[in-house]
């Protein structure tokens, strides 16, 4: 089972929750709202998890349309029982 995935990390929790709710309303079931790992951003924040990098375009398009602003995308890999995060240039 592939345990690798991507997460979109937003400036605020509200931006992540708002975009996720819009995507859900649009019928997208490929996204999941998760707590942002503390190693990436301290505090109580949420990120949007997705498995296929193609969905980064959907996030970017909707975030731009909703004027949510920029966000970072990380590739998450589970290796030797630990999660490793690599920021992408997408």
What tokens were used for 32? 């999941």
For the cut 90, the answer to whether the pLDDT of residue 67 exceeds it is yes
For the cut 80, the answer to whether the pLDDT of residue 90 exceeds it is no
For the cut 60, the answer to whether the pLDDT of residue 1 exceeds it is no
Question: How much is the pTM?
Answer: 0.91
CA distance 62 to 19: 7
For the segment 8-47, what is each residue's pLDDT rounded down to a tens digit? 999 999 999 999 999 999 999 999 999 999 888 767 799 9
User: How many helices and strands (H and E) does the chain possess?
Assistant: 2, 5
Domains of the chain: 5-87 (3.30.70)
What is the reported pLDDT for 57? 96
CA distance 71 to 90: 10
């Amino acid at each position: 089972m592939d345990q690798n995935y991507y997460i979109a990390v937003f400036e605020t929790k509200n931006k992540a929750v708002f975009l996720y709710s819009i995507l859900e309303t649009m019928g997208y079931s490929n996204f999941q709202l998760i707590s942002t790992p503390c190693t990436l951003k301290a505090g109580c924040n949420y990120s949007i998890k997705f498995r296929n990098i193609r969905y980064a375009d959907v996030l970017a398009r909707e975030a731009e349309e909703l004027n949510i602003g920029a966000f970072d995308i990380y590739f998450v890999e589970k290796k030797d029982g630990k999660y490793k995060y690599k920021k992408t240039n997408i």
